[in-house]
Chains A and B, each alone.
Chain A
Amino acid sequence: RKEVEQDPGPFNVPEGATVAFNCTYSNSASQSFFWYRQDCRKEPKLLMSVYSSGNEDGRFTAQLNRASQYISLLIRDSKLSDSATYLCVVNTNAGKSTFGDGTTLTVKP
């Protein structure tokens, strides 16, 4: 079993749709959690950190469920520019980051 698992997709949605990505992790000692996006094999860019209480940044909402070892990302009112691969990242307290393989989103007009 992979340490961090994501549904690879692809998710194909129309503009304006709401889409949700899920991520599960196996290491219960994981300390911090992030979502990154990666465009066309360029470098990953930080989208947002994920906090225990859940957090929102504009159209993006991230949630963490430590009991179920589960992280989610919700994108509302999808834009064409949201098309990318979304990477779930889990850090241990030893500084090691484990990346999921990513979920591919394509937003169509």
Chain B
Amino acid sequence: NAGVMQNPRHLVRRRGQEARLRCSPMKGHSHVYWYRQLPEEGLKFMVYLQKENIIDESGMPKERFSAEFPKEGPSILRIQQVVRGDSAAYFCASSHSEDTQYFGPGTRLTVL
């Protein structure tokens, strides 16, 4: 039973480009969460999604960031016009219900 999958594991973008981060939840899980961890800081909640619905996006920056979890396929976190301050580790987690979350290995985004 595969765990939470994230890809790419490492992503390098130049300022102004777009970054797309993908997350496939564990089999049977319909709840997906995205977190960001800046260097030397703790995990910060970004968004909580269920299939085709955004449940809570209170942690998402107001501009340039969006997330989706379509009926088919992985959840996508999209960052438009990246800036150096977006460089961070982005973790996805999934759960069966609104309870224990299991994390993927993360995507390390570096903005040059």
Question: CA–CA, A93 to B48, complex, Å?
Answer: 13
**CB of A46 within 8 Å of the partner chain:** yes
User: In residues 4-32 of chain B, which contact A (Cβ within 8 Å)?
Assistant: 31
Evaluate contact between A44 and B45: CB separation under 8 angstroms. no
User: In residues 80-104 of chain A, which contact B (Cβ within 8 Å)?
Assistant: 87, 91, 93-102
Main SS of the interface on chain B?
strand
**CB of B98 within 8 Å of the partner chain:** yes
**CB of A32 within 8 Å of the partner chain:** yes
Evaluate contact between B100 and A49: CB separation under 8 angstroms. yes
**CB of B56 within 8 Å of the partner chain:** yes
Q: Which residues of chain A have C-beta atoms less than 8 A from B55's C-beta? A: 94-95
Evaluate contact between B102 and A46: CB separation under 8 angstroms. yes
Residue interface mask B28-66, A partner, CB < 8 A = 1: 000101010100011111001000000110100000000
Evaluate contact between A43 and B103: CB separation under 8 angstroms. yes
Evaluate contact between B103 and A45: CB separation under 8 angstroms. yes
Q: Which residues of chain B have C-beta atoms less than 8 A from A100's C-beta? A: 42
Residue interface mask B65-105, A partner, CB < 8 A = 1: 00000000000000000000000010100000011111111
24 inter-chain pairs at a CB distance below 8 angstroms, sorted by A residue, are A41-B37, A42-B106, A43-B91, A43-B105, A44-B103, A45-B103, A46-B100, A46-B101, A46-B102, A49-B100, A87-B42, A87-B43, A91-B98, A95-B56, A96-B45, A96-B48, A96-B56, A97-B33, A99-B42, A99-B44, A99-B45, A100-B42, A101-B41, A101-B42
**Chain B residues with a Cβ under 8 A of chain A:** 31, 33, 35, 37, 41-45, 48, 55-56, 58, 89, 91, 98-106
**Chain A residues with a Cβ under 8 A of chain B:** 32, 34, 38, 41-46, 49, 87, 91, 93-102
